[in-house]
Amino acid sequence: MDRRTAAAPAFVDLHRDADSFLEEVTAGLSRPLKELPPKYFYDERGSELFEAICGLPEYYPTRAELEIMRDHAGEMARHLGPACAVIEYGSGSGRKTRLLLKALSPVAYVPIDIAREQLQVTAAGIAAEFSRLAVTAVCADYSRSFRLPQLAGPPARRRVVYFPGSTIGNLSLPEAAGFLANARRLVGPGGGMLVGVDLKKDAARLNAAYNDARGITAAFNLNLLARINRELDADFDLASFRHHAFYNDTLSRIEMHLVSLADQRVRVGGAGFGFRGGETIHTENSYKYSLDEFRVLAESAGFEPRHSWTDGGRLFAVHYLAVPE
Ligand code: AVJ
């Protein structure tokens, strides 16, 4: 590690959270099939629970993707070339990111996340560890359109979006295509994207990964209601909802729901919402793609798939997608 004093990361705040949270919760609970956006799982408690999920024996994606980064980050760096600006969507704990940054030595690193505290901690840690790297943390909802701020540091030869963790699996196919097209426009001609995507596999393994024996995934799912209670003046009774996750083979996705265990009424902010016993709130989808399915999707968004890496167990993939010059 370079021991010169690192500059504190630049911080750019483009996010107005409270209003959009209440609006999106109210809209989601007003639909005939109730739903809540999974991006709101990650408050402080939710981020902690998610870190615990990543270490569970049943939850293979994190270990598989780390294995890919350990084994192949050097080769990824050769594809990307020198003097990149790495723009990361969702900052997480930063373990995979560190493996990429070490191999690549980019000129700029731009983590973008809606979770402000987590973002600041991760960005400061990376700025301290990679002292010659210009770090600009951007607090924004990357699922909406946003403009990249002026970046600190020397000009980059290539912009690359790094989107690990299979978070793209939260999106439906048309949403994922639109999202990838936005990323393509953001990096521009000659730019690229490294994206982690969970692979299709047998349903038993998938079901186990989202129904862990210790109940951490259930606690993660239910924490969304606890967060709504805390932040939006709501009165969800957590004991009256149950975690339900299953692989939907027809749609190639894990679905997570919260099932109401009784007829009940819940107040959120000023509004009331009725639930029938057995009715669910759909809280998350996690789409699974074969290597070819994902490449076809990337092509539909104007990328050229250049290379895909998988772990030894073929559980997970990291794709390198390039934008033609
Ligand atoms: C972070 C969206 C990739 O879908 O596997 C883990 C979230 N939900 N366990 C996933 C999650 C339940 C995770 N992603």
Q: What 3-state class would DSSP assign to 267?
A: strand
Instruction: List all residues 6 or more positions away from 282 whose beta carbon is below 8 Å from its beta carbon.
Output: 33, 34, 35, 36, 255, 256, 257
Nearest partner of 191 among 161, 150, 155, judged by Cα: 161
Residue 2: pLDDT over 60: no
User: 1-5, 53-57, 216-220: lowest mean pLDDT where?
Assistant: 1-5
DSSP string across 75-88: HHHHHH-SSEEEEE
pLDDT range class, residue 117, cuts 50, 70, 90: confident
Question: pLDDT digits over 234-249, tens only?
Answer: 999 999 999 999 999 9
Residue 102: pLDDT over 90: yes
Whose tokens are 């990838």? That residue is 180
CA distance 60 to 201: 12
Percent of the chain with pLDDT over 70: 97
Residue 157: pLDDT over 70: yes
Ligand 1 pocket test target in 286, 315, 316 with most atoms within 8 Å of CB: 286
CA distance 97 to 130: 12
Q: Give the mean pLDDT of 33-40.
A: 96
CA distance 243 to 115: 24
Q: Give the mean pLDDT of 83-105.
A: 92
Residues facing 258 on adjacent strands: 243, 281
Nearest partner of 56 among 231, 246, 213, judged by Cα: 213
Q: Give the mean pLDDT of 156-168.
A: 96
What's the pLDDT at 267?
98
Q: Answer for the pair 8, 124: CB distance below 8 angstroms, yes or no.
A: yes
Could you give the C-alpha distances from 192 to 62, 188, 307, in angstroms and in order? 23, 8, 12
CA distance 278 to 210: 20
What's the pLDDT at 3?
44
Question: 273 C-alpha to center of ligand 1: Å?
Answer: 27
- The residue that leads in pLDDT, 29 or 90, is 29
Residue 4: pLDDT over 70: no
What's the pLDDT at 1?
45
Can you read off the two tokens belonging to residue 174?
């048309």
Q: Give the mean pLDDT of 300-308.
A: 98
Instruction: List all residues 6 or more positions away from 5 whose beta carbon is below 8 Å from its beta carbon.
Output: 131
Q: For residue 61, which atom of ligand 1 is closest to its CA?
A: 5
What's the pLDDT at 18?
62
Q: Ligand 1 in contact with 118 (CB < 6 A)?
A: no
Question: 167 C-alpha to center of ligand 1: Å?
Answer: 7
Max Cα distance, the chain (Å)? 61
Residue 92: pLDDT over 80: no
DSSP E strands in 173-226: the ranges are 192-198
What's the pLDDT at 310?
98
- Among left, alpha and beta (phi > 0; psi -120 to 50; other), residue 275 is beta
Question: pLDDT digits over 197-206, tens only?
Answer: 999 999 999 9
User: 5-9, 43-47, 109-113, 161-165: lowest mean pLDDT where?
Assistant: 5-9
User: For ligand 1, atom 4, which residue shows the shortest CA distance?
Assistant: 286
pLDDT range class, residue 190, cuts 50, 70, 90: very high
Residue 44: pLDDT over 70: yes
Nearest partner of 68 among 320, 321, 317, judged by Cα: 317
Residue 6: pLDDT over 70: no
Q: Ligand 1 in contact with 287 (CB < 6 A)?
A: no
What's the pLDDT at 5?
53
Give, rounded to a whole angstrom, the gap between the first and last alpha carbons of the chain.
35
User: 74-83, 139-148, 250-259: lowest mean pLDDT where?
Assistant: 139-148
DSSP E strands in 128-260: the ranges are 134-139, 158-163, 192-198, 241-248, 253-260
Rounded to 5 degrees, what are φ and ψ at 26?
Answer: -60, -45
Residue 273: pLDDT over 70: yes
Q: What 3-state class would DSSP assign to 157?
A: coil
Q: Answer for the pair 256, 244: CB distance below 8 angstroms, yes or no.
A: yes
Q: Ligand 1 in contact with 165 (CB < 6 A)?
A: yes
Ligand 1 pocket test target in 214, 258, 284, 287 with most atoms within 8 Å of CB: 284
Can you read off the two tokens belonging to residue 252?
């190639």
Question: 307 C-alpha to center of ligand 1: Å?
Answer: 24
Q: What is the rounded average pLDDT for all residues in the chain?
A: 94
